[in-house]
A = this chain, B = another copy of it.
C-alpha cells in the first residue's frame, strides 16, 4: 500500500537486469507493479530496453501497459512486435484503447492487424470507432456496455446481460433500447430483481437517462459528467441509437489535458510540450509567441520614435514605458483570464456590454489606486508635478483600455467559435503593450503641452 515512486535506482536496476538478460528477476519485479507504473518505467528506457521488458510480461499486462504508454515509446515498441502479436494484444483491450492504438499505426499495418484479430465482433467494433474524430464523444467512447431490449422479458434480459457483462470491465448502467437500437432509458438492477420474471422490460425501465451525441466535444461531455456526477454516459448517434459508452476515467484525462493546454496557451506555449521534450520541440512551441512579442516591441519602439518632441523635451517620460507596458499587459491578462475561465466553466451570464461596463468600473478603481501610488512616488522622485500627473493619468487610461481589450477579445473570439484561451498570454500582452504606449505618449504630449 506504499505508493509507487519512480526512482533512478529502480530504473538503473531494471536496466542492469535487462543488460544481464536476468528475466527471472525482471518478471518477479514486474509482477509486483501496476501496469500504469510499468508504463511510466518504460518511458525512462530506450526503445530496445522497453521492447525487451514488454515482451517479458504476460499478455494481459502487456496490453494494459501498451494502452497506458506514451505514444512515442508505444510506436517504437509496436514496431518491434509482429502483426500477430499486436492483434493479440488488441484482443485483450477494451475497444476504445484498442482503437487508439490502431489509429496510430500506419494504414497498411492497421489493416493487417485488424484482419488478424480473431474475435470478429471486437474487430468490427474497433473499425467502427476508428471512423470518429479523436476530438469527439465518438473518439472517446468504448463499445463495451450492457444493453437490453425493451421488448425482452426479465428472464431473457438476465440471460443476455450475463453474457454481455463478461466483456465489460465495470458495469455502470444497464441501458434499454428499442428494436431499432434507439436508447430509451436505463434499468435498475434492484427493480429487475423484484419484479416477476415474465414482466417486459418496457414496463420497468427508467425512461430518464443522460446521454451525449456522438459528435459532442469532449469538453462538453466532461462538463455534463462532472456536473451530474456521472461515472458513465451512453453515446447516441443522429438517429438516437446507442453506439457506445464513455467512462469517467477517460473524462478525467480529458479534464487534465484541457487544463494543461489552457495553462500553456496562457503562458505563450503554442504546442503541447513537456519539460523533457527536445530543445528543438520546445523551441517550436515557444518561438511563435516570442516572435509576435518581438514585433510588438518593435511597434512600440517605432511609436516612441515618432514622438520626437517628447524625447527632446521630457526624456524622463521614456523611463516609464516599461511600467506602462507591464501594467497594460498584466491588467489585460487578468481580465482575459477571468473571462476565459468563465466561458470554460459556462458561468458567464449577461450581455457583452454589461461585462465591458463592469470591467471599466473595475479597471477605473484599480487604476485610481495605482495612479495615486505612482503620482506620489514620481512627484517625490522627479519633483515635477506636471510630469507626475501626466504619467499617472496615462496609467489610468491605459489600465481601462487594457481591461476592456482583455475582456472584449475572448468574448469576441468565443462568439466566432474560436477557442478564447488563445487570447490570454502573449496575444493580449503584445497588443496591450502597443496600445498602452500609444495612449501614454498621446496623453503626456497633451498634458505637458509639447
Contact = CB atoms under 8 A, between A and B. Distances in A.
A345 B275 CA distance: 11
Contact of A248 (B224, B252, B319, B433): B252
A289 B326 CA distance: 11
A238 to B, nearest CB: 13
A273 B338 contact: yes
Contact of A326 (B249, B255, B296, B358): B296
B259 A334 contact: no
Interface stretch (A15-23, A74-82, A153-161, A297-305): A297-305
A429 B326 contact: yes
A448 to B, nearest CB: 17
A211, A236, A248, A253: most-surrounded residue (chain B CB, <10 A): A248
Contact of A366 (B255, B290, B301): B290
Contacts of A268: 330, 333-334, 337
B301 A319 contact: yes
Contacts of A300: 319, 322-323
A449 B251 CA distance: 61
Q: How many copies of this chain sit in the oligomeric assembly?
A: 2
Interface string A334-364: 1011110110010111000001001001100
Interface of A: 1, 3, 6, 8, 34, 36, 44, 170, 183, 209-211, 224-229, 231, 236, 248-249, 251-253, 255-256, 259-260, 262-264, 266-269, 273-276, 279, 282-283, 286-287, 289-291, 293-294, 296-298, 300-302, 304-305, 311, 315-316, 318-327, 329-331, 333-334, 336-339, 341-342, 345, 347-349, 355, 358, 361-362, 365-366, 369-370, 373-374, 377, 381, 424-426, 429-430, 433, 437
The 4 closest A-B CB pairs, nearest first, are A297-B323, A267-B337, A259-B259, A275-B342
